[in-house]
Amino acid sequence: MKRYPLVISATAAGLAGVLSFHSHSISEALRSPSTNSATPPRGGSHTTPPKTAAPAKAGSPGRAVAPTSSPPGSSTTRATGTLEQYGYGQLSVRVTMAGGKITNVTLAKLQTADTYSQQLASYVVPILRREVLHAQSAKINGLSGATYTSEAYAYSLQSALDKLRK
Amino acid sequence: MSRIRRGDLLLETAPEEIHRVLDLCEDVRRMTGGWFDPWAMPGGVDPTGLVKGWAAERALDTLRAHGALAACVNAGGDLAVLGRPASGGPWRMGIRHPWRPDALACTVFVERALATSGTYERGLHLFDPHAHRPSSRAVSASVAGPSLAIADGLATALCVGGDDVLDRLAQIPGYEGYLVRADGTEAWSEGMPFAS
């Protein structure tokens, strides 16, 4: 795969890269029946417009995973976020809430195009998880420096939270 | 931009946003003594070292225009903020540690914008306009300042040019820089607003 020119533009641009450049080849590389079942294919062909629908998709209907019903006497709820494509793979997160607080965030699914991306994801995801959990204790309000993985993580997390708020 | 690079669109007939972004690119090119230079990119002019910050800044402008009093737009690690966080006090942002998964390199207070450019997640993707090849002297470089578009471009230059660009940053009012070198040592400009 001749990645060089794509990486130059997309990594420097991060968001723009994720939204427009990478989705083509990667989503094709990753396409399989199992990966398409959770999320409608997006950006799979060159005629597909860039993923500009991102802000709207938190509320996108039709593929909501119902929150796990709470056991009687417990306020613990869980939901799995949408499967998000990012530059080099796709992921979804599963969030657990108890008493109005996020008590855990785990990866429900992670598929990457290559082993290097797998390593990167396994490296970045713990930071993101900590960030989410720490955000509640107001230690930091945000994280600067992560790129692809963090966006997919944030989108999937947001969709999971939206489901729990319904 | 891709159409311009391919020669399918004349710059003169390009949308106004293209011109605004390229004007900002020219500003940062001059501020950095050419360490940020979209016109030196292989394949033609490429503003991607700045345009993500510009886009996030515009997103924040939209929120502001619609009455938001406090907001944070985080475009893949480039942050623009407005007002104060719900927790009160200034926005406190972590800068990712380039190697340690369980640590932050540092935390900083952000008044307006913070951009980070790094080679740790995707390897060597930055282009050195002076050496005419992919290269970077820092593994992670962050710039805080009033404009996220400018900060993004400056962080790109700081990552490529390392200490040389940090020296230049010290001369640019309102902007502060922080970098981690390849050997793990750090450097920063005097006014970098560290939170701890």
**Segment among A65-79, B44-58, B108-122 with least mean pLDDT:** A65-79
The predicted structure's pLDDT at residue A16: 25
The predicted structure's pLDDT at residue B12: 92
| Pair B139, B118: CB distance under 8 Å | yes
Chain A residues within 8 A of B93 when measuring between CB atoms: 140-144
Can you tell me the ipTM of this complex? Answer: 0.77
Across A65-85, average pLDDT: 65
What distance in Å separates residue B182's CA from the closest CA in chain A? 16
What distance in Å separates residue A14's CA from the closest CA in chain B? 6
Q: B126-131: which pairs have CB atoms within 8 A and are 24 or more residues apart?
A: B126/A12, B126/B49, B126/B156, B126/B159, B126/B160, B127/A8, B127/B40, B127/B41, B127/B42, B127/B160, B128/B160, B128/B161, B129/B34, B129/B35, B129/B36, B129/B37, B129/B40, B129/B41, B129/B160, B130/B34, B130/B35
Question: Residues of A at the B interface (Cβ-Cβ below 8 Å)?
Answer: 5, 7-18, 120, 123-124, 126-127, 130-131, 138-151, 154
Main-chain phi, psi angles of A33, to 5 degrees: -55, -40
Q: Inter-chain contact A13–B77, Cβ cutoff 8 Å? A: no
Which chain B residue has its CA at the smallest distance from A18's CA? B76
A32 has pLDDT over 60? no
B2-188 CATH, one of 3.30.70.260, 3.40.50.360, 3.90.650.10, 3.10.520.10 = 3.10.520.10
Main-chain phi, psi angles of B35, to 5 degrees: -70, -25
Which chain B residue has its CA at the smallest distance from A120's CA? B121
What confidence tens digit (pLDDT) does each residue in A133-156 have? 665 543 567 778 755 566 677 777
The predicted structure's pLDDT at residue B123: 53
Q: What one-letter code names the amino acid at A79?
A: A
Residue (of A84, A103, A102) closest to A153 by Cα position: A84
The predicted structure's pLDDT at residue B166: 96
Q: Inter-chain contact B121–A127, Cβ cutoff 8 Å? A: no
Q: Inter-chain contact A12–B94, Cβ cutoff 8 Å? A: no
Q: Inter-chain contact B114–A144, Cβ cutoff 8 Å? A: yes
A40 has pLDDT over 90? no
Computed over every residue of chain B, the mean pLDDT equals 90
Say what the pTM is: 0.62
What confidence tens digit (pLDDT) does each residue in A127-139 have? 777 766 665 543 5
Q: How many CB pairs under 8 A join A and B?
A: 126
Computed over every residue of chain A, the mean pLDDT equals 56
What confidence tens digit (pLDDT) does each residue in B4-36 have? 989 999 999 999 999 999 999 999 999 999 999
Burial of A15 (0-12, 13-18, 19+ CB in 10 A): buried
Which chain A residue has its CA at the smallest distance from B103's CA? A127
A46 — pLDDT class (breaks 50, 70, 90) = very low
Q: Inter-chain contact B107–A140, Cβ cutoff 8 Å? A: yes
| Chain B contact probe: residue of A119, A140, A144 with most B CBs at under 10 A | A144
Domain ranges of chain B: 2-188
| Pair B97, B105: CB distance under 8 Å | yes
Across A66-94, average pLDDT: 71
Q: Inter-chain contact A120–B79, Cβ cutoff 8 Å? A: no
Chain B residues within 8 A of A119 when measuring between CB atoms: none
Which tokens go with B159?
């990552």
B100 — pLDDT class (breaks 50, 70, 90) = low
Q: Inter-chain contact A144–B46, Cβ cutoff 8 Å? A: no
Directed axis angle between helix A148-165 and helix A115-135, to 10°?
Answer: 50
Q: Considering only the beta carbons, identify the residue of B46, B94, B140 that sits closest to A140.
A: B94
Q: Inter-chain contact B76–A150, Cβ cutoff 8 Å? A: yes
B77 — pLDDT class (breaks 50, 70, 90) = confident
The predicted structure's pLDDT at residue B33: 94
